[in-house]
């Protein structure tokens, strides 16, 4: 059996590429960060400093042209949303498996075409939905699997921030091709988690608002899903929340689980830490959530966050030893819900995805 590492090319060295993908790739056994694409001089210098053995390219075309020489086994697309579809298409047509940062595309139709192309070429296509490996979400899944919550009636999930001023970042663009706004940025995570837990959504209601002065796209939004099994998911995503609500509040027939605060893996990655360090993803008891039933409350240890499992699973999938850690079809289902949310917000009606 070939034990040499799989060579990975990374397109984009902004927050997604530099903070999430590069550290996770470079610390996953069996993977090697072989190349980085960035045209920005400062990001190029950072990539060279942090990953000196990776070849640097100014554009993706140059990397794809050099792919045979580099022996690339995978291309990771971590560039702005509007580039996801053309870059993934080019890589698949060049015979390379692809990972795309979420969202897969700006529309479900574009996502479906990518899935069809990957299937036609017999190539892996996966989407980086890292929040499936948040410690608090892993804990929610464990509680559901154990039956401790009973039948879940309402699943409340929030991804809120306090960023009252616009920054001029591309995510604040009103151009639909940019797939900006908190619905596509944060909602893509929340909807993915809800669908993973409770299955397909049959009805969608949404309120998408642009609150900040000069905002061109939504920055304070709410989405309600009614799943096929009758569970209701209420999802909040905001850049304008001066007071943050609970991350999860899961109401079941036997009790409720409540936890506050965001998973700490992103902050740890931003600080230069990696999953190779002992104790990665663990939270102290004072940050655990609780299982509640009336006046009774029990602390529930939060499972360690484990973003590294995504790329570990991906390496196994590339070797033919398992499925992709996130099926691209799941990402298309998320996009259908996001598009339904946009329609609902425009009309004020409950719609089907």
DSSP string, 193-253: HHHHHH--EEEEEEEEE--STT--S-SEEEEEEEETTS-EEEEEEESB-SS---SEEEEES
Q: Are 51 and 36 in contact (CB under 8 A)?
A: yes
Position 325 in a domain: no
- CA-CA distance, 324 to 200, in Å (whole number)? 20
Position 353 in a domain: no
Position 323 in a domain: no
Asked whether residue 137 falls in the same domain as residue 124, the answer is no
Position 52 in a domain: yes
17-46 tens-digit pLDDT: 999 999 999 999 999 999 999 999 999 999
Ranges of the chain with pLDDT below 70: 1-3
- Residue 195: give the domain boundaries: 132-307+336-347
Asked whether residue 119 falls in the same domain as residue 136, the answer is no
Question: What pTM was computed for the model?
Answer: 0.95
First-to-last C-alpha distance (Å) of the chain: 45
> What are the backbone dihedrals phi and psi of residue 295, each rounded to the nearest 5 degrees, phi first?
-85, -10
What confidence score (pLDDT) does residue 179 get? 86
CATH number of the domain encompassing residue 188: 3.30.360.10
Position 331 in a domain: no
What confidence score (pLDDT) does residue 1 get? 45
Percent of the chain predicted with pLDDT > 90: 92
Asked whether residue 61 falls in the same domain as residue 195, the answer is no
**Encoded tokens for 35:** 């190349």
Asked whether residue 125 falls in the same domain as residue 159, the answer is no
Which residues, 6 or more positions from 157, have their beta carbon under 8 angstroms from its beta carbon? 190, 193, 194, 233, 234, 235, 236, 247, 248
Asked whether residue 145 falls in the same domain as residue 124, the answer is no
Position 248 in a domain: yes
Asked whether residue 143 falls in the same domain as residue 282, the answer is yes
What confidence score (pLDDT) does residue 174 get? 82
What confidence score (pLDDT) does residue 2 get? 57
Asked whether residue 165 falls in the same domain as residue 203, the answer is yes
Asked whether residue 125 falls in the same domain as residue 136, the answer is no
Asked whether residue 302 falls in the same domain as residue 224, the answer is yes
Position 186 in a domain: yes
167-217 tens-digit pLDDT: 888 787 888 887 889 999 999 999 999 999 999 999 999 999 999 999 889
Q: Are 197 and 342 in contact (CB under 8 A)?
A: no
40-67 tens-digit pLDDT: 999 999 999 999 999 999 999 999 999 9
Position 89 in a domain: yes
Which residues, 6 or more positions from 136, have their beta carbon under 8 angstroms from its beta carbon? 247, 248, 259, 261, 263, 289, 302
What confidence score (pLDDT) does residue 30 get? 96
């Amino acid at each position: 059996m070939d034990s040499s590492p799989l060579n990975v090319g990374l397109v984009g060295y902004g927050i997604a590429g530099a903070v999430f993908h590069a550290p996770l790739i470079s610390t996953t056994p069996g993977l090697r960060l072989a190349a980085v694409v960035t045209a920005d001089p400062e990001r190029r210098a950072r990539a060279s400093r942090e990953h000196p053995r990776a070849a640097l390219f100014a554009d993706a075309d140059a990397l794809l042209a050099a792919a045979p020489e580099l022996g690339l086994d995978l291309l990771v697309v971590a560039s702005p949303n509007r580039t996801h579809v053309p870059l993934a298409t080019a890589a698949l047509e060049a015979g390379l498996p692809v990972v795309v940062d979420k969202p897969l595309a700006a529309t479900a139709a574009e996502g479906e075409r990518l899935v069809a192309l990957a299937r036609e070429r017999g190539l892996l296509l996966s989407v980086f939905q890292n929040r499936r490996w948040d410690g608090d979400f892993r804990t929610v899944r464990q509680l559901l699997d154990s039956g401790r919550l009973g039948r879940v009636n309402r699943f409340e999930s929030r991804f809120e921030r306090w960023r009252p001023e616009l920054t001029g970042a591309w995510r604040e663009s009103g151009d639909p091709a940019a797939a900006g706004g908190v619905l596509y940025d944060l909602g893509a995570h929340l909807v993915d988690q809800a669908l993973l837990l409770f299955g397909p959504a049959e009805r969608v209601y949404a309120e998408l608002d642009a609150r900040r002065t000069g905002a061109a796209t939504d920055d304070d939004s709410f989405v309600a899903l009614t799943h096929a099994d009758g569970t209701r998911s209420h999802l909040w995503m905001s850049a304008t929340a001066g007071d943050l609500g609970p991350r999860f509040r899961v109401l079941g027939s036997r009790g409720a689980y409540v936890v506050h605060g965001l998973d700490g893996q992103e902050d740890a990655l931003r600080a230069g830490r990696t999953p190779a360090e002992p104790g990665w993803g663990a939270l102290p008891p004072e940050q655990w959530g609780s299982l509640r039933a009336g006046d009774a409350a029990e602390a529930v240890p939060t499972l360690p966050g484990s973003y590294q499992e995504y790329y570990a699973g991906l390496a196994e999938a590339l070797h033919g030893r398992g499925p992709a850690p996130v099926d691209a079809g799941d990402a298309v289902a998320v996009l259908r819900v996001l598009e339904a949310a946009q329609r609902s917000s425009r009309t004020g009606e409950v719609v089907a995805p």
